[in-house]
Structure 1
């Protein structure tokens, strides 16, 4: 059994990393989102044995909102993978320890996982958040699609007009919501690629939007927001959701999954949009203090476009 070395990733590792992630994750993890991070090699550690790359971990700096209205510097951990030949040797713990050592001035670390037992020994604890509403869906008989909502397929550069309304809708009310920089927006565009952006504008400024799609007959609402400073924010939210509903009705959607923060205004709108949908708690998130404890009491939410 050869010794395993943990080191920074190099350009020549990219093909091996893509193969490792394709084998280690179900469904296979494509490197598309990782590839748009210009600093991806410095953010990635690999484990290497005599046969080559046998493990990986990705540590991405993010700025996340906290309970007190402040913003934390967070070490967001993803792409933790160990090749089958190297499992059972504590390699995942070594990779976690190494990325935490490289976390710099991060206040705390965050990851999402379906195997929390792997990370508890490294000091991570699980938290929950009411991230989605899911259940049966049917179009309202009285819904009228607004002509003012513009549709566009999500791709690189498409989400730029959403920046201001996204920030205003999250600041001070949604804990964990990232303060998105250029890299965050580009990674969201890659992750949401192919979904439909429904955008409502007034005087050339976006005042409301949703990102949604139909996949295998299920209506998926990945993200939505309206400008809380607009004159009639509830009406804007209804208009955007009615446009989504028109497309879902045409596609024969009968089941939905809606990723929205558990805010009162959001709840009211979604109750009208999907009366039979029920709140679903997500317990895949884990946090570890670094420089200090995380301050994440309150309404927590993390959208599909921000996973890493």
Structure 2
């Protein structure tokens, strides 16, 4: 016989069993690492408590996300959803999502966003999936050398905040992209793109013009973020060429360009890929709150709509 379950916001006393619940579900340290830096986290963490122990949890944080009209929406980003193995199949997540969405509405969120490998969990709570597309192929085999006024270097220990203006300008009107604040550059981006992710920076005459984040694995390289000054789109050619030359030199046969459809990216893509094919990412889901469903459809279906991995929740 099961004990009664209390569904409510988390309290400081819940934190040990909350962390234990997440430890059952996630192996990555970033779950609690990023959570610990959110000053309002407990009021936005909803827990199912049975016999004094957290058995399921849903957490959300507010994010500013660009919409299809060139503006910015306040969005409730759902994260760290987990249920202990012994408590699964009892509807805890649906009940907790109801509490979270009510709180998002009170916060003024236009809609809600999440990423998941188990979309069926969220359909009954009003979330609907959307699909992102990106290219993949063999690394470009013949890439012209850089002009003498360009330098591309791998940099470790970079101050990510110095790259913020490039990212902001490159994504100024990109639907579904997050408007990053100072804490994102100080905490979230360095966690998601921590080593062994490689950062390449392109400079022309010593001035930073673009950057690229790449993740190398045996036989494969994934390009997971790029940005270039709007008046220096050739920075992308320099960065893509540097990745392709390294990939060919290492015998890498697959290059995944997890990048949006964008005129500057498309023009530079032959410097990175040969015979590209389209891949899809169907892990994203959205739910209207104060916004109308067609407002969300316009965002997720807009040409160039994209959500960068460093902005995952």
Scaled by the length of structure 1, what TM-score is found? 0.88
Change (3 A) 1:269 1:95: same
**Deviation for aligned residue 1:210:** 0.3
Q: Which residue pairs with 1:125 in the alignment?
A: 128
Give the conservation status (yes or no) of the 8 Å contact 1:64–1:71.
yes
Deviation sequence 1:174-215 (CA, Å, 0-9, x none): 210111112322212111111111112357653211011202
1:148 matches 2:147: no
Give the conservation status (yes or no) of the 8 Å contact 1:159–1:189.
yes
Deviation sequence 1:151-172 (CA, Å, 0-9, x none): 223x6x7311111111111112
Q: Which residue pairs with 1:76 in the alignment?
A: 77
**Deviation for aligned residue 1:53:** 1.4
**Deviation for aligned residue 1:14:** 4.0
SS at match of 1:98: helix
Cα distance in 2 for partners of 1:300, 1:138 equals: 25
Q: Which residue pairs with 1:227 in the alignment?
A: 229
Cα distance in 1 for partners of 2:96, 2:270 equals: 43
Cα distance in 2 for partners of 1:207, 1:16 equals: 47
Scaled by the length of structure 2, what TM-score is found? 0.87
SS at match of 2:247: helix
Question: Bigger CA drift: 80-89 or 42-51?
Answer: 42-51
Cα distance in 1 for partners of 2:220, 2:276 equals: 13
SS at match of 2:275: coil
Question: Bigger CA drift: 16-25 or 26-35?
Answer: 26-35
Q: Which residue pairs with 1:272 in the alignment?
A: 271
Change (3 A) 1:290 1:55: same
Gaps of 5+ in 1: none
Change (3 A) 1:34 1:256: farther
Superposed, 1:57-96 pairs within 5 Å as 57-96=58-97
Cα distance in 2 for partners of 1:29, 1:189 equals: 11
**Deviation for aligned residue 1:78:** 1.4
Q: Which residue pairs with 1:181 in the alignment?
A: 181
Gaps of 5+ in 2: none
**Deviation for aligned residue 1:243:** 2.3
Change (3 A) 1:181 1:203: farther
Give the conservation status (yes or no) of the 8 Å contact 2:135–2:276.
yes
Give the conservation status (yes or no) of the 8 Å contact 2:143–2:241.
no
Deviation sequence 1:40-61 (CA, Å, 0-9, x none): 3333222211161111111010
- Alpha-carbon RMSD: 2.3
Q: Which residue pairs with 1:306 in the alignment?
A: 311
SS at match of 1:301: coil
Give the conservation status (yes or no) of the 8 Å contact 1:220–1:258.
yes
Count of residues paired in the alignment: 300
